[in-house]
Structure 1
Amino acid sequence: MKLIRNLLVASASFALAACATAPLRDTAPTTVAAPAKGQIFAVAANPLASEAAMAVLRRGGSAVDATIAMQAMLSLVEPQSSGIGGGGFMTYYDAATRRVTIFDGRETAPAGATPDMFLDDSGRPLPFGEAVLSGRSTGVLGAVRMLALAHQRHGKLAWRTLFGDAARTARDGFIVSPRLGRFLASGAFPESNAPDVLAYFARPGGGLLQAGDRLRNPAYAAFLARLAAQGPDALYKGETARRIVARVGQGAHPSSMTLADLAGYRPIEREALCGRYRVYVVCAPPPPASGVGMLQLLMLLERTDISTRGPGDPQAWFTFAEASRLMYADRDRYVGDPAFVSVPVAGLLDPAYVDGRATLIGARAGAAPAAGVPAGAPKVALDRTLEPIGTSHFVIGDAQGNVVSMTTTVESIFGSGRMVDGFFLNNQLTDFSFSPRDAAGRPAANAVAPGKRPRSSMTPLILLDADRRFAGALGSAGGNSILAYVGKSMVGAVDWRLPMQQAIALPNLVARGGAFQGEVTKFTPQVLAGLAALGVSLKPGQGEDSGLQGVIVRGGVIDGGYDPRREGRFLVEPAPAARR
């Protein structure tokens, strides 16, 4: 708590100093009117998932209860992005105590993992496509144990009652959505031709299922019935655990995962990392997640005039790109599992350090910026992590005013491409640096180690007002681009006062190292020309793209938005008791 309080004081002190020396037109409201209790809401990347969460809330369930139903449904209808075979981070707001808590369900490396497990016999990193399909890409599953811990703390309805919608949909089948159909048709990812993927999505008569086809998953329905009856032990012990260990032990580069690894997995309840941005307190997960990078990005932007500009101004996007590159340079080098490496969180967020980094935002884009040297920085190697796209994000609020902002993932498209009991297994361990040391022998902060959690770009946010009342929530999918996607939407919603839907729909721009990628066709010719004049030549991005979902409180009203690049739905209504 002392560290968090110090960071809040430091951030607040900077904000006051900045306003005194370089006044900005702060377009955010000076106060935030909290929504009246009695509203329930959910926003996710798939309509069936949003509906499953709302069904629980309508029964009087808590936000965490609805989260469990949401995750169970996402595993079925959006298997390319998340699932119970993966992990995630939950940022939880407790309305009664006005406290924000992090539930860390990040996967861990098995006890038998070694630093060189992703190197070939010559000591060179394995090709990513080969590594992602291997058994050793799968980390010890974290999502279900994490959800069980959150349910112990904040659940209202019985665990066994939370899986009915997903189990029924698995038995009866659901219509393959256009987005899932596109992934099945593309064949562009290593997992697209994995045997389990081809078998699961096989179409009668040949080929793979297409958008509009019905997909049934009786194996998943049967597993959910056991999970409902037995609790998380249905996954971490017994027949499913044995099948997981057997499946990841097959083929080239088999996993060392054992039944003891699964039985021994423990989620972690962490304190949120919080700092100020404009009038908001922004809370995010600490390492091994990337909340420290998100807060640093916001601190850098607060030292610029971006709030006086707007989405049609090339200078605004240039500023955002340069601040992003500075943040990524620091995040990439220093963030890892704090149980194994020293992460200089306080140094990275020290106002004086961020002042110095902000001076590097020049008049034109130059070479890729190097990482800085914040107080407490260890001597670690340049990061070599290859973090692919993937993941899903959702936000849920219950009638008591409690809110979940959760980012969940199986990592790449369909995870490792390996399936057990109707769900895909993650490939999270490819989020580690394949090279454990550099040529000088310095260790990578994100190198593999037994029991270690790989670094994550996930950064599910909760926003509070000055009285620590709920003021908003935001997060995204997208691999290492998550920080840019969320940062862009924060600028749009907070600085430019756009409705959340418009803020999320703003074009994506991801600047990291020497690369500038973005949705080129969504920027105006004037913005593209202005960026080019400033040394930023945007190239088209690739992969799964963003998956932003968020809400912000405006005048007591929940203003929600979902990413138009996916198939999301935002639902809000009075709670059942409020209707009577």
Structure 2
Amino acid sequence: MKRIWKASLAVFFSILLVAGTMPLTGQAKKPKNDYEGYSQVDVGDDGMVASAHPLASQIGADVLKKGGNAIDAAVAVQFALNVVEPMMSGIGGGGFMMVYDGETKETTIINSRERAPAGATPDMFLDENGNPIPFSKRSTGGTAVGIPGTLKGLETALDMWGTRSMQQLIGPAIKLADKGFPIDSVLANAIADNQDKLSRSAAGEVFLENGEPMEEGDHLVQKDLAKTLKMIRSEGADALYNGQIAEALAGVVQDFGGSMTPEDLANYEVTIDEPVWGDYQGYEIASMPPPSSGGVFLLQMLKILDDFNLSQYDLKSWEKYHLLAETMHLAYADRAAYAGDPEFVNVPTNGLLHPEYIKERQELISLDEVNANPEAGDPWKYENSAANYEAADQPNDREYGETTHFSVTDRWGNVVSYTTTIEQVFGTGIMVPGYGFMLNNELTDFDAVPGGANEVQPNKRPLSSMTPTIVFEGGEPVLTVGSPGGPTIITSVLQTILHAIEYDMELKSAVEEPRIYTNNLNSYRYEERISGGVLDHLNEMGHNFGPNPTTIGNVQSILIDHENGTFKGVADSSRNGAAIGVDLKGKGKDKGK
């Protein structure tokens, strides 16, 4: 990715000249910076961490400085994010960790997606009349809680690649929880926006003071979470999946109407998966396979767009946004029809990415008009299997989830791209009493109406949109990218890759360029700094962009320059994240993997 790096370095050094005196161009989304000593752009010779919170990035960078590898650092970052970004991820949730092993040159996925408990049923999100329970209700009860997988995933990653123990790596997070830290604007806003949800459980005792939300700058101490992390330090993942924490977790889920039991927790296992691969303009792209829909439909959209030569149109033109929107409509129609857990249903991955099927989908896109009725195609004719389910119409009431993503690289060539979540902000809003961690509402990612590929079944994993991705050139990793944002995740990763490769943009600019999102259900979102005239033209064509912009995603990305041996990290300005590079003197190659 040499052309990107030439632009990246030129812009980066110009940024250094003005840092502290003026904002980066195109950072209109940037919230108040609560940790002024940190930067959202950095370059390092020996490693890089980019995450959505500066304290987590610092902890990861410290692990790298002390000789740990990227996997060690990623484990420490996840534990830290559980403390400083408790509304987005943690041991009460799950995720997908993609690891490129610099020694073996293999790319592997630790799949710690949550699973439905044994007592889950296909109709558990329907009321007594057979109608879907409103999302606001089904997302805050015990039936929404999936068996968490994050901690098992971290333990598995260390077993496979780690050079440090969990006991060492969890220490900084324990200190943060025990001693506290200043609340930043993102966490403060999340607490205020979810006051009622938090007040129903032990979470109210942690994030509310006398019933009122804690505010930006307040000092947050989480003693119960610190206690839990200390138990994990002593007992490993078994502390959560067996014993008193498991009893308390299952008990509070049942108190809120769920069916989870300690046996469900004891039986949970992660899976080790291979990426789904595709190519785009000479680059090889590794991304998430099912049960995430992220990789398949990221690659499908890239393949559909490839022949349109998108960069012939101006970066901010209506033509660009129209082609993006039409491609999204088709991909999300296929996603709704065919994506699910491959342990339970046949997913036509090869058919969805088959060249002839891509041509069929391309022929449905016109530069002159909107496809008013985007429908799923028939990829099964390019498969050796057949559907073992029937699609069912679903309510269009699902709210956009939140999550977090971070990326880590080290001097031994290891790369981690990790998206991790408890689904909505603060998940269900249910905290395990006495143990201080939030529980996910991941099972709302299942279809509410039974019958389709993504219907609820015991031990099944709900469909995900998480899309941690690594881009390769000539067999070497050159870019990591990922984002939170529920179903918008896929399109945030898509547009970042398009901006970097198709439009040859410097990485920070590629991340900050305003994004759009739309799907097959006539749902539209867009970010600020898209011209009103462009939006008007799109709406005149038949699109439905509303009057109010929003924030879409929060991309964390690292660019790897093999020629210069340098890493450039970027944290999206829509949160208070930080990129922290590592530079070592007297470095050696005899540690880590």
The equivalent residue for 2:237 is 232
Q: 1:194 aligns with which of 194, 197, 200?
A: 200
Q: 1:422 aligns with which of 420, 423, 436?
A: 436
**Distance across 1 between alignment mates of 2:269 and 2:504:** 41
The equivalent residue for 1:384 is 394
**Distance across 2 between alignment mates of 1:102 and 1:367:** 38
**Distance across 2 between alignment mates of 1:454 and 1:257:** 16
**Distance across 2 between alignment mates of 1:422 and 1:79:** 10
One-letter amino acid of the counterpart of residue 313, structure 2:
R
The equivalent residue for 2:227 is 222
- CA apart distance, 1:360: 0.8
Deviation per residue, 1:473-495 (Å, 9 max, x gap) = 10110001111111111111111
Q: 1:284 aligns with which of 270, 284, 287?
A: 287
Q: Which moved more, 1:530-539 or 1:314-323?
A: 530-539
- CA apart distance, 1:558: 2.5
The equivalent residue for 2:112 is 105
Q: How many residues align?
A: 541
- CA apart distance, 1:579: 8.7
Q: 1:135 aligns with which of 142, 145, 153?
A: 142
Change (3 A) 1:138 1:542: farther
One-letter amino acid of the counterpart of residue 402, structure 1:
N
- CA apart distance, 1:542: 8.0
The equivalent residue for 1:266 is 269
Q: 1:126 aligns with which of 130, 133, 137?
A: 133
Work out whether residues 248 and 257 of structure 1, in 8 Å CA contact, stay in contact via their aligned partners in 2.
yes
Change (3 A) 1:391 1:280: same
The equivalent residue for 2:516 is 509
**Distance across 1 between alignment mates of 2:89 and 2:180:** 19
Deviation per residue, 1:279-328 (Å, 9 max, x gap) = 21100110001211111011111121203233222211111111111111
Q: What is the DSSP-based 3-state SS (H/G/I as helix, E as strand, rest coil) of the residue aligned with 2:587? A: helix
One-letter amino acid of the counterpart of residue 310, structure 1:
D
- CA apart distance, 1:533: 4.3
Q: 1:257 aligns with which of 252, 255, 260?
A: 260
The equivalent residue for 1:15 is none
The equivalent residue for 1:457 is 465
The equivalent residue for 1:179 is 186
Work out whether residues 42 and 53 of structure 1, in 8 Å CA contact, stay in contact via their aligned partners in 2.
yes
- CA apart distance, 1:208: 1.5
The equivalent residue for 2:353 is 349
- CA apart distance, 1:76: 1.1
Unpaired runs of at least 5, structure 2 = 10-42
Q: What is the DSSP-based 3-state SS (H/G/I as helix, E as strand, rest coil) of the residue aligned with 2:95? A: strand
Q: What is the DSSP-based 3-state SS (H/G/I as helix, E as strand, rest coil) of the residue aligned with 1:102? A: strand
**Distance across 1 between alignment mates of 2:586 and 2:358:** 48
Q: Tell me if 1:49 matches 2:56.
A: yes
Work out whether residues 493 and 500 of structure 1, in 8 Å CA contact, stay in contact via their aligned partners in 2.
yes
Q: What is the DSSP-based 3-state SS (H/G/I as helix, E as strand, rest coil) of the residue aligned with 1:265? A: coil
Q: What is the DSSP-based 3-state SS (H/G/I as helix, E as strand, rest coil) of the residue aligned with 1:311? A: coil
Q: What is the DSSP-based 3-state SS (H/G/I as helix, E as strand, rest coil) of the residue aligned with 1:515? A: coil
Change (3 A) 1:282 1:237: same
- CA apart distance, 1:537: 3.6
One-letter amino acid of the counterpart of residue 469, structure 1:
E
Deviation per residue, 1:550-580 (Å, 9 max, x gap) = 1223554423221111111111122465399
Work out whether residues 556 and 570 of structure 2, in 8 Å CA contact, stay in contact via their aligned partners in 1.
yes
The equivalent residue for 1:317 is 321
The equivalent residue for 2:158 is 151
- CA apart distance, 1:526: 3.8
Q: 1:569 aligns with which of 578, 581, 586?
A: 578
Work out whether residues 326 and 371 of structure 2, in 8 Å CA contact, stay in contact via their aligned partners in 1.
no
**Distance across 1 between alignment mates of 2:363 and 2:197:** 43
Change (3 A) 1:514 1:289: closer
**Distance across 1 between alignment mates of 2:221 and 2:550:** 27
The equivalent residue for 2:74 is 67
Change (3 A) 1:444 1:210: same
One-letter amino acid of the counterpart of residue 270, structure 1:
D
Deviation per residue, 1:15-55 (Å, 9 max, x gap) = xxxxxxxxxxx98799x99xx99621000011111111111
One-letter amino acid of the counterpart of residue 118, structure 2:
A
Q: 1:302 aligns with which of 306, 312, 328?
A: 306
Deviation per residue, 1:322-353 (Å, 9 max, x gap) = 11111111112111000000000000000110
Work out whether residues 333 and 383 of structure 1, in 8 Å CA contact, stay in contact via their aligned partners in 2.
no
Q: What is the DSSP-based 3-state SS (H/G/I as helix, E as strand, rest coil) of the residue aligned with 1:492? A: helix
Q: Tell me if 1:360 matches 2:368.
A: no
Deviation per residue, 1:142-196 (Å, 9 max, x gap) = 0110111111100001221001111101111111111111122234x87355333
Q: Which moved more, 1:482-491 or 1:451-460?
A: 482-491
Q: Tell me the TM-score normalised to structure 1 length.
A: 0.89
Work out whether residues 334 and 380 of structure 1, in 8 Å CA contact, stay in contact via their aligned partners in 2.
no
The equivalent residue for 2:568 is 559
The equivalent residue for 2:26 is none
Work out whether residues 478 and 544 of structure 1, in 8 Å CA contact, stay in contact via their aligned partners in 2.
no
**Distance across 2 between alignment mates of 1:422 and 1:61:** 28
Q: What is the DSSP-based 3-state SS (H/G/I as helix, E as strand, rest coil) of the residue aligned with 1:195? A: coil
- CA apart distance, 1:449: 0.4
Work out whether residues 138 and 428 of structure 1, in 8 Å CA contact, stay in contact via their aligned partners in 2.
yes
Deviation per residue, 1:99-150 (Å, 9 max, x gap) = 1111100000011111111111111111111111111111011011011111
The equivalent residue for 2:334 is 330
Deviation per residue, 1:76-109 (Å, 9 max, x gap) = 1111111111000011111112211111000000
- CA apart distance, 1:266: 0.5
Work out whether residues 558 and 568 of structure 2, in 8 Å CA contact, stay in contact via their aligned partners in 1.
yes
Deviation per residue, 1:344-379 (Å, 9 max, x gap) = 000000011001101111121131300001024525
Q: What is the DSSP-based 3-state SS (H/G/I as helix, E as strand, rest coil) of the residue aligned with 2:174? A: helix
**Distance across 2 between alignment mates of 1:510 and 1:91:** 25
The equivalent residue for 2:28 is none
Work out whether residues 389 and 545 of structure 1, in 8 Å CA contact, stay in contact via their aligned partners in 2.
no
Change (3 A) 1:429 1:164: same
Work out whether residues 516 and 536 of structure 1, in 8 Å CA contact, stay in contact via their aligned partners in 2.
no
- CA apart distance, 1:387: 5.8
Change (3 A) 1:206 1:132: closer
Q: Which moved more, 1:359-368 or 1:425-434?
A: 359-368
**How do 1:452-491 and structure 2 match up within 5 A?**
452-466=460-474, 468-491=475-498
Q: Tell me if 1:91 matches 2:98.
A: yes
One-letter amino acid of the counterpart of residue 222, structure 1:
K
Work out whether residues 527 and 550 of structure 2, in 8 Å CA contact, stay in contact via their aligned partners in 1.
no
Work out whether residues 4 and 505 of structure 2, in 8 Å CA contact, stay in contact via their aligned partners in 1.
no
**Distance across 1 between alignment mates of 2:378 and 2:352:** 9
- CA apart distance, 1:534: 3.5
Work out whether residues 97 and 110 of structure 2, in 8 Å CA contact, stay in contact via their aligned partners in 1.
yes
**Distance across 2 between alignment mates of 1:539 and 1:312:** 18
Change (3 A) 1:516 1:258: closer
Sequence identity percentage: 36
**Distance across 2 between alignment mates of 1:487 and 1:313:** 17
Work out whether residues 479 and 560 of structure 2, in 8 Å CA contact, stay in contact via their aligned partners in 1.
yes
